[in-house]
Amino acid sequence: MSHILMTQPMMPSIMDALDARFTLHRLWEANDVDAYVRDVGPRIKGIATGSSHGSTGAALFERVPNLEIVSTFGVGYDNVDVADAARRGIVVTNTPDVLNDEVADLTLGLLIATLRQIPQADRYLRAGRWADAVYPLSPTLRGRRVGIVGLGRIGKAIARRLEGFDVRIAYHGRSRQPDVAYPYCATLLDLAETCDVLIVITPGGPETRHLVDASILKALGPNGVLINVARGSVVDEQALIAALQTGTILAAGLDVFEHEPQVPQALIDLDNVVLLPHVASASVHTRKAMGQMLVDNLDSWFSGKGPLSPVDETPWSRP
């Protein structure tokens, strides 16, 4: 059986499935990681890794010279050095599509919770304050102009849901999509100036680091709302804190942070932000589907059928 290195704990169903098909090496159980990798490295043909914690790149690839494939758990794969993997002829896969609906649902829930102040109202009631006074009126989604940063698979699923709320939708990405009817903004600044809700669902990585900075938040304006369900690195977190503190924007809903799982106390102390612990795809149903795709990619590769969902940068062309 082929030897697989798993870099971090995953759901029992994933580990059980990999154990049944491969010789599985659990990196996090090693007392001395360096010594462990030196020992098993030459035997490793595949890596199973998460999509947002730790780093899978040259330092590890050097020690697993016979590596053929990295199978990531998640649609994002910015923790994998895909450029280095491509140079070495290593295939990288992710788990697209199976989490689109779950993330889109959560995004709409986070948007409504942020605008209608659902967590704040819940805290108000639990504190016994309703008997003293009714909860203050909240902002609304009515009449809003929503901009989507990154109109990929999940972005489109979000947009379809937003259509049911009768809001205006525009988008920004690397290029205009010919089959999309929503207005396109050539720059993110144009989108922020056009909209008063900005939903971020673009990939992470060096190219998008701090894409949403102080200038974008200023353009979004004092009635503006930022929703980030992408990667924490896409938003300049300190600029966002300042914008929320000073009223540069109205509110924010965040599922991701720059240095997860650490969240700045300044964000926690603010009452105009809704904070979630990176749970956009975190339902039992969806995580099982993601785990199955991770396993299926490895199973398909080592059965000689090729990867099921190779990422764009991967050195693989389907016959």
Residues serving a catalytic function are 231, 260, 278
Measure Cα distances from 128 to 114, 120, 226 in Å: 22, 13, 30
Burial of 145 from C-beta contacts in 10 A (0-12 / 13-18 / 19+): middle
C-beta separation of 310 from 91 below 8 A: yes
